[in-house]
Amino acid sequence: MPDTRIIISTRCYLESARYDRVGLKGRIAAVSFEAIDNGYIGARHTWSASASVLRSKGMITPDCEKQIKLIEWFGRCIANTDMHFGNLSFFWDKQDATVRLRLAPVYDMLPMLYAPEKSEIVDRVFKAPLVVEVGIAVELARQFWNDLASHEDVSGEFRKIAADNASLLNEKK
């Protein structure tokens, strides 16, 4: 796990070390899902749909496909409205003419529905997905919301929002 730290000023920030760096100048080969989809699929419908195509091409394992689907559904269940193809990456390796991809650590996974607009808080309502294709995603998201709802560093207003969102997911049992 990369080194991380929380920075609190007028806002709260999580700073983490880059996972694609080694030493002072070394890099680990990583590529965004956007670049992979553009180069090998050209669709960019959903992470899950593109993962299925990559698996059928032998570029990712069935387990990697399952991880991507879990991550996508978890994101939907935590109100991450910013899951574009630039927000998921892979480590890659090319052997002969075959490209093999492994999922890189997840980043930028947060409830973006509630992101401020022009530094202002905007009231928004989370609508839980009607159907969740990966059941464990609901359990993980419920734990996420419950943890937020009980965290003392989270404002009272947002703890209430988090508790309400956990309750919405309780209906998905």
pLDDT band at 163 (very low <50, low <70, confident <90, very high): very high
Name the least confident of 68-72, 129-133, 168-172. 168-172
Taking all residues of the chain, what is their mean pLDDT, rounded to a whole number?
91
Q: Which helix (H) or strand (E) holds 63?
A: helix 62-77
Q: Does position 173 have pLDDT exceeding 60, yes or no? A: no
How high is the pLDDT of residue 50? 97
The DSSP result for 87-102, as a single string, is G-EEEEEEETTEEEEE
How high is the pLDDT of residue 12? 79
Q: Which helix (H) or strand (E) holds 35?
A: helix 33-40
Provide the phi-psi class of 26: left if phi over 0, else alpha when psi is between -120 and 50, else beta: beta
For CA atoms 8, 9, 13, 15, give the dihedral sign.
negative
Q: Does position 171 have pLDDT exceeding 90, yes or no? A: no
Positions marked active-site: 82
- Each residue's pLDDT tens digit, 132-156: 888 899 999 999 999 999 999 899 9
Q: Does position 1 have pLDDT exceeding 60, yes or no? A: no
Gap between the Cα atoms of 25 and 5, Å rounded: 22
How high is the pLDDT of residue 25? 84
Gap between the Cα atoms of 129 and 139, Å rounded: 13
Percentage of the chain lying above the pLDDT 70 cut: 98
Model pTM score: 0.89
Nearest to 172 by CA among 77, 81, 46, 83: 77
- Each residue's pLDDT tens digit, 43-74: 889 999 999 999 999 999 999 999 999 999 99
| Angle, CA 3 vertex, CA 142 and CA 152 arms, to 5° | 40
